[in-house]
Structure 1
Amino acid sequence: APDPRTGAVLGVPPQAGHAAPGAPPGPGAVRPGAGGTGRSCGSCRSGMIDKDGYCEHCGHAQPRERDHMEHELPGVAAVSDRGLRHHRNEDAYAVSAIALADGAPATVAVVSDGVSSATRPDEASAAACAAARELLVTALPQGEDPREATHDAIMRAAEAVNSLAAPARGPLQHDPHRHENAPACTIVTAVVTGDLLTVGWVGDSRAYWVPEDRSTQPARLTEDDSWAAQMVAAGLLSEAEAYADERAHAITGWLGADAYEVEPHTASFHPDRKGVVIVCTDGLWNYAESAELMAEVTPPDARTRPLECARQLLAHALDGGGHDNVTVAVLPFPLAPEGAGSA
């Protein structure tokens, strides 16, 4: 089986590969020595792409690598899309299928939503996913408790996002507001090991449990770090009232140098039946907020076709308006004994 610590982490543009000798360059291929980005146009195939993403010959805007991404591994699949209203995708994800010390399979999914009001949110989400996945796929095969590993993974992700903040120099280095508007993001993780399901989060990205038997109860596994959730928890507003307010999605917890204090939430569950874990950003759950609605839009064969499930959930969000970036990972439960890998 491949080393689970290798493989691409989504949200980080891959390096250009090498084409077979004599093969014509494909759309977006790198041409050594070319100006601009070094990529050729996917429309006319003759012009070069400038630094703003437009063809210098025909003028067509080129799709970004993160506009739409999807991967499937044994026991986990994920899809991410820019949506219909945003000019770029600031979400990211990372998924892995690994083997534990005893040879038993485990799956990992990390999803992150960059905070649009901060600088470089796309970099923040990518850094968080890369760091969290790396720790999880290293710690779990060494026997670390999944809940402890999840906590450590989120803290490692926080450090990675913090490192993106520009260092303050001169008088600013003592300014308590020096990190305002630093790169920031949310994070949610899910780990399936044996009969155990472990989730962790900071922010308002969510995890849901959807049983295969739809006559049984689905569940939301996470609680938002948000203004709306605080109002509901304090008994000041009903859930409907809170989420109707324009402040509903103001997050009260995030990863970033300007975060007050990162306090990862973790929880473990022992599902007694088959089902799937849906891990997603608010670009999806805005269109299926309750566990019941999420179960309703999740296809009945989700456990056996996780990638198709993720695609259908994306389609549901786009059909609903696609107002935000949309990212969803699907983890079937329980796992079948299969191979390992990362994406």
Structure 2
Amino acid sequence: MDHGESAHDGAARNHLLLTPQPWVAGLTDIGRRHHRNEDALALTASAEPAARAVLVACDGVSTATDSHIASAAASQAVAERLAQPMPRDEAGEDDWLATVSRAFTEAAQAGSRAAAATAADGDPSPPSCTLAAAIVEQGMIVGGNVGDSRVYWLPDVGPQRAVQLGTDDSMANELIRRGMGRAEAEATPTAHAITRWLGRDAPEDLSPHLAHLRVEEPGWLLVCTDGLWNYCSDPADVWDLMQRAVAQRDGTPGSVVEALVDFANGQGGADNITAIVARVVPWDVAGQSVPAR
């Protein structure tokens, strides 16, 4: 597996494209209205498409001190834990998923410790961040989050199979759970108030909201911060956005993330924007990737 790439501090972070392998790319961008980029990302990927990848995005909480430092530290710590081997061929699926679940929780805890370590003593508003992460492992995808950054699976077959992997920790999601429609809930004044995060004052339970699936048709795995999904939230709408992004340029992951960020900036770019994509194809029982039909 590629040793990975991550985004840290400096002017390069204002618009930084990472492509650890041709089938995976991530882009973080300052947007149009912020004076610095508080998003961060970290990626690892195998040379063989769809064999193994780790995708991590962290969104610094803008109301906390120096959260751009916390998000960079957390994204790297999370990626390092999730990059540790978790081979599927050494255990049954249930045992493997239990191992992955533990790894995600340990990764979130490691990310939270890394974010907390960036805080100054006595800071009344210590740096913090959200987390969204996904792994690809031989035709299986596991994704989840702490906070309101997101993971989507967008199969080529159509928008009816598009899903969000995980559940927002936000006041908007609390309203949705109580029966309010998604669009209405996400338009409320407190929609983006998060209920869990990473950092010194994080809640005790940092187990990510996880979901998994077996890849049965080619598609795109997307990990993003709310700087993107603010403008396109429902999985079916994100699927449509992805199709437009693929069609606009040459369809490579690097061009796709550029198109997604351009879309968000074209809508106003009110927040920092991070989009990470992996082009994933099915994996047959012999352990070899198979081409799209």
Distance 1:124 1:71 in 2: 20
Residue 325, structure 1, aligned to residue 272, structure 2: yes
Q: Which position in structure 2 is the counterpart of 1:254? A: 197
Residue 11, structure 1, aligned to residue 1, structure 2: no
Q: Which position in structure 2 is the counterpart of 1:57? A: none
- CA deviation vs aligned residue, 1:15-39 (integer Å, no higher than 9, x gap): xxxxxxxxxxxxxxxxxxxxxxxxx
- CA deviation vs aligned residue, 1:306-341 (integer Å, no higher than 9, x gap): 111111111110111111100000011127979xxx
Distance 1:90 1:224 in 2: 19
CA contact (8 A) 2:56 2:131 kept: yes
Q: Which position in structure 2 is the counterpart of 1:77? A: 25
Name which of structure 1's ranges 258-267 and 189-198 shifts more when overlaid on structure 2: 258-267
Structure whose residues are more often helix by fraction = 2
Alignment partner for residue 87 of structure 1, among 8, 29, 35? Answer: 35
Alignment partner for residue 142 of structure 2, among 189, 198, 202? Answer: 198
Distance 1:272 1:326 in 2: 29
Change (3 A) 1:278 1:8: closer
Change (3 A) 1:217 1:200: closer
The unaligned stretches of length 5 or more in structure 2 are 91-95
CA shift, 1:128, in A, is 0.8
Change (3 A) 1:141 1:124: farther
Distance 1:164 1:99 in 2: 33
**Structure number with larger C-alpha Rg:** 1
Q: Which position in structure 1 is the counterpart of 2:260? A: 313
Q: Please give the residue correspondences for 1:204-243 in structure 2 after superposition, counting only pairs within 5 Å.
A: 204-214=148-158, 216-235=160-179, 237-243=180-186
Residue 130, structure 1, aligned to residue 76, structure 2: yes
Q: Structure 1: which amino acid aligns with 2:121?
A: P
CA shift, 1:304, in A, is 5.7
CA shift, 1:8, in A, is 4.0
Q: Which position in structure 2 is the counterpart of 1:97? A: 45
Q: Find the residue that maps to 1:119 and give its secondary structure.
A: coil
Distance 2:209 2:176 in 1: 18
Q: Structure 1: which amino acid aligns with 2:70?
A: A
Change (3 A) 1:215 1:280: closer
Change (3 A) 1:204 1:318: same
Distance 1:229 1:137 in 2: 30
Change (3 A) 1:99 1:132: farther
Report the TM-score when normalising by structure 2: 0.84
Change (3 A) 1:213 1:88: same
Q: Structure 2: which amino acid aligns with 1:93?
A: L
- CA deviation vs aligned residue, 1:129-157 (integer Å, no higher than 9, x gap): 11011112224369773333222211211
Q: Find the residue that maps to 1:259 and give its secondary structure.
A: coil
Q: Which position in structure 1 is the counterpart of 2:93? A: none
Q: Structure 1: which amino acid aligns with 2:101?
A: R
CA shift, 1:271, in A, is 2.8
Q: Which position in structure 2 is the counterpart of 1:50? A: none
Alignment: residue pair count: 272
Alignment partner for residue 159 of structure 1, among 92, 113, 121? Answer: 113
RMSD: 2.6
- CA deviation vs aligned residue, 1:203-227 (integer Å, no higher than 9, x gap): 0000111111236421122211001
CA shift, 1:266, in A, is 2.0
- Equivalent pairs: percent with the same residue? 37
Q: Which position in structure 2 is the counterpart of 1:67? A: 14
Q: Find the residue that maps to 1:323 and give its secondary structure.
A: coil
Distance 1:114 1:329 in 2: 17
Distance 1:154 1:75 in 2: 25
Distance 1:205 1:215 in 2: 21
Q: Find the residue that maps to 1:311 and give its secondary structure.
A: helix
Distance 2:23 2:108 in 1: 22
Residue 121, structure 1, aligned to residue 78, structure 2: no
Q: Find the residue that maps to 1:298 and give its secondary structure.
A: helix
